[in-house]
Every structure is written in C-alpha cells, then in structure tokens.
Amino acid sequence: MARVNGGELLVRMLENIGIKELFVLHGGHLDAILQAAHDHEFRLIDTRHEQAAAHAADGWARTTGRPGVAVCTAGPGITDAVTGVANAWLDCSPMLLIGGAAPLRDAETLPLQGGFDQVALFTPITKWAHRVTHTERIPELVAQALRIATSGRPGPVYLDIPIDVLFTPVDEEKALIPKPVQPQSAPAPAAEAVAQIIEWLLAAERPAILAGGGAWFSGAGEALLAFAERTRIPVFSNTKAHGLIPADHPLCGRGFPNLIGLGMMGIGQPDVALLLGTRVGLFTGGRSGAMIPHDARLVQIDIEAEEFGRNRDVSLGVVADCREALLALDAAATGCTWPERESWLKAVQDVREGHRLLFAEALQNEKAPIHPYQLADAIAQVVERDAIIVADGGETSFWMDVVARVHRGGHFLSHGYLGCLGTGMPFAIAAKVAHPERQVVCIVGDGSVGLNFAEFDTMARHGLPIVVVVNNDQQWGMSAHGQELLFGKDRHVATDLGPTRYDKAAEGFGCRGELVTDPADLAPALKRALAADRPTCINAMTDPSVIAPVTVAMLGLSGGEPTGESPGQTVAIPYYDNIES
C-alpha cells in the first residue's frame, strides 16, 4: 500500500482542479509542498516578500478571473501576508493562502515561529479560515477552501497546515481526491424582476450600466456587451471591470468618475442606473450622489443581498449571478424597440475623452520635468491593444486610469478599497505569468515602488520581461499635495523623497534601467523597453508641483486654498467627509 505525505496530497488536489502556478516564499514548513510541486512540474514563482506573494495571488485572480494561490511559511511569513489578504478581502478577489505552522504537538511550548493563533489572525479578513489537523483530510479541505473562495461573493480563504500534518505519510487510499469543486449552475433572476428592469430601462432618457468585479468574476463580458448593444445603454466600469466593454466601443463610458463629468457638462446624469456586481461605496460616490444622483432610479444586481441599501435606498435589488442576470435581461430585451438616445451616447463619448481638453497644455509640454499626464499618456499611446496595464500609487493610478485604453477584461489592475500601495509589481508579475504573450506595463509612484522594490529580482530570475515605469516626483505625491492643500506649501512633513536612481538599483538585480528626464525621450524609451527580452525600469522624473484632481476631490476642496480651523468653518480631513466645526 503506497504512502504519501500531506504536501503530495495538497499538490494532487490543486492539479486536479487545474491549478499549477503557486506564488511562494520558502520556509522549511513548506518543503513537503514545494518538493511535491516540483515533482508535478508546477510553476513556482518565489517572491522576495510574503506580501508580494499574497498580492500576486490576488493579481492572478484579477487578471484571469480564477483563484490565485500563495504559500507562505509560519510566523513572520504569515504576518507578512496579512496586507495582501486584506486587500483581496475588501475587493472581493478569490485567492487561497496556504500557511505553514508549528507542529500541533508543540502547542503551548513556545516553539519556533509559533505561539499565536494564525487562524484567528485571518478570520476577520477571509471568507473562511481553517486549521488542518489530519493529513488525509487535506484534499477535501483544499477543495472546500476553493469552493468558498469562488462561490457567491468571491474572496480570500486561508488554510493553516502544521508542519507535522504536512510531513506525515498516510496510506494513499485513505485520502480521496474530490472531483467536482464548483456548483454547475448559478442563481438567475426572477422573471418579474427582469420584466420590471426592462420596463424602467425602456422608459429612461439617460440609462447607464455600472459594471464591477461581480461582472468580471462571473464571466459576464460577452453577455454584457450583447445586452448593451441591443439596448443602446452605455456601460461604465470600475478598475476590476475595465475592458469588459472595449475602450473604443461607442457604448463604453470608461470609469465611474465620468458620471460626474456628465453632470458638469450640463447633459444630466443617469436617471436609471443598473449596478452590476458593484457596491455602493467610495468608488460609486457613496452617499454623496455625485455619481448616481439621489433622484435616479437605482437597480442593483448582486450575488449578495446584504449589499442592497448600503449608503442609499435601491428601487429594486436582485440577488443573482451577473452573467445569468444579463442573459435573462437580453432575452427579455430582444422583442423590444429600443430608443437610439443619440444625444446621451454622444455626451458619454465626449466625457470619456474630456481629459484631453483638460490636460491639453500638459501634452504640449516640451521641457523637463515631465508632466505626469504626459507620462501616463505616453504609455497608453505606445502599448499594444491587448497590453495589460498595472497602476500603483495614489495620484499615479489616477493619471493612468484617466488615459488607459483597456480592451479586455482583466487587463487593468489597480487599487481598491484598502488603498494599498505596493501592489503594482506583484500584480504585474502575476499578469505576465498568466499572459506571457502580452505586454505588461506597471506604472508606479516613487513612494509605492519602495514597498516591493526587490520584486525586480523576482522578475529577473523568472525571466519576466515586464516594463516598470516609476513616476518619480520625489515625494509621496498624494500625501505631499494633501498637506499643501490643507496646511500650505511650506508644510511638507514626512512626505518628501529624493531623486533616487531607481533605474540603477533595478540594474543591480539584473534588469535594464533607463533614466528619462525629457518628455521627448518617453516614447523611445518605452519602445526600447517593450522590445527588450528582460525586465526594465524606466525612471521618469516628473513635475512635483502638479496636483492631480483626485487629490483635491478626496479632500472635499474646490479652490485649493489651505483650510482654516476657526469656529463655524468646515475643516477638511484627508479622504473622508469633512468636519463641521
């Protein structure tokens, strides 16, 4: 009777469901897994920090729509991964973190890398966290973890496997490998709800669809495009859903903030908004009504009913899988005569390109330093149509989001509700591993790049020709500009950085490096980097005085003057509703 250890059983289970890529950082607790993965010809992408491994697993999910898996060792390996898991939790991204742990038999003995409850640590930031106590149960618990991660609202899960459980051999026949992991059907909307939605959309003058992660992870791209084209309803998206409608499609409104622009143009904002797998929070205007007017009829389709009524009332809440809902809506829409709404669609097309008018002067800049809008636009102009863009940094991500032309789902990766910096390079690694044939460009602020800078080494060792563009304004841009707006230009505190040669540092890891100070040199440098056969760091020196509009908006300011604190005045605070003093 053959005997196998827990690492072999875990790897067989992952292989059984089509997972053969793991983001890891070595620790002795994991060797049973790593040796088995090597024997089964898994691809192991070993990062330089566990946070990066967790971010990469999250990034894998965002770019493929399938769960990513990270494996981290006990103790500090687990605590290092917390940020990556929390980021996936808040953005509803499916990933499995497998953690090594001290032996079960050593509980309460103060062993190496033990002495605290790793499961309890992850319980608040995962859909499910569990400790495996019997080797033969590893396959079924891995299957359960992935089923939970991908069913209903997606999210991260954590599986804690003590080293003695992993290394112990058991009879092969005692550990069955489950076959089906996922349910074969998804919840569909009720016929009455479908009929009501169609009635409201037909009568609307300015209908809009707001697509989010629920649309992407349900595989709703084709169904969304078909329904939008049949009904002539424009589609706006958050960063997780960019590309489900190609950026140059007449019905693509691009980012949610363009809904604010429509109001500013005097055209009017949506009178019926169909939220498709996106929540009502900061990125949809929250309670402000800035993106979705308070008098708009709001229809929300979500896999979780608990989202209905968050921050505002909904006219109709429908618990359903986004793809199934769109298929039902499209079937019901087939026999209807839909209005052309030419003026509404023209306004949507105008507002999505409005940034070109707003920053026209920036594009004409011919002198150093480079305007950050110029930098982002140069990337958008040079990359191929199916390139994957990763944006990391407070203001940096704003500039890239404004100009990016995304034509496929999972091809734009950026920040979410955690506001977590340092995700860019790990996300880019995951994107390149998942899509080796595609160009991958990561634009990152010089603040953000410091958080996972050693991942240049990971890129070089694993032969991942990723282009990393550092938006180097020598400061933590959003923070420094926020201080200027709140307290005055002479009040930078703990927000200044130096003219660091990130290109030279990347060369030390075996990457290419280029310093760019002149706007005219941007496009040639990018083209050289994209044609190279190894990773490249382009260190672009940008203008530190340029304040991104998102920073002003996040402070609730309109004029850019420092705020006062005298009685009766509104006191602005970073990122949240201002205080009435």
Active site residues: 29, 50, 113, 419
CA distance 530 to 126: 37
Pairing of strands 579-580, 570-571: antiparallel
DSSP state of 238: -
Query: In 3D, which of 146, 287, 154, 283 has the Cα closest to residue 213?
Result: 154
Q: Tell me the CA end-to-end span of the chain in Å, nearest whole number.
A: 76
Residue 355's SS3 state is: helix
Residue 83's SS3 state is: helix
Pairing of strands 207-211, 128-131: unpaired
CA distance 221 to 225: 6
Residue type, 92: C
CA distance 528 to 360: 26
Give buried/exposed letters for 350-389 (b at 16+ CB in 10 A, else e). ebbebbeeebeebeeeeeebbbbbbbbbbbbebbeeebbb
φ, ψ (nearest 5 deg) of residue 346: -65, -40
DSSP E strands in 320-380: the ranges are none
CA distance 301 to 293: 18
For residue 478, the Cα-to-chain-centroid distance in whole angstroms is 19
Query: In 3D, which of 434, 430, 428, 522 has the Cα closest to residue 472?
Result: 522
Q: What is the CA radius of gyration of the chain?
A: 25
> Could you tell me which residues come within 8 angstroms of residue 24 by beta carbon, excluding any fewer than 6 positions away?
30, 34, 44, 45, 46, 47, 53, 70, 71, 72
Distances (CA, A) of 547 to 264, 472, 473, 552: 20, 14, 11, 8
> Could you tell me which residues come within 8 angstroms of residue 543 by beta carbon, excluding any fewer than 6 positions away?
369, 370, 371, 372, 473
Distances (CA, A) of 366 to 201, 361, 363, 538, 563: 48, 10, 8, 19, 34
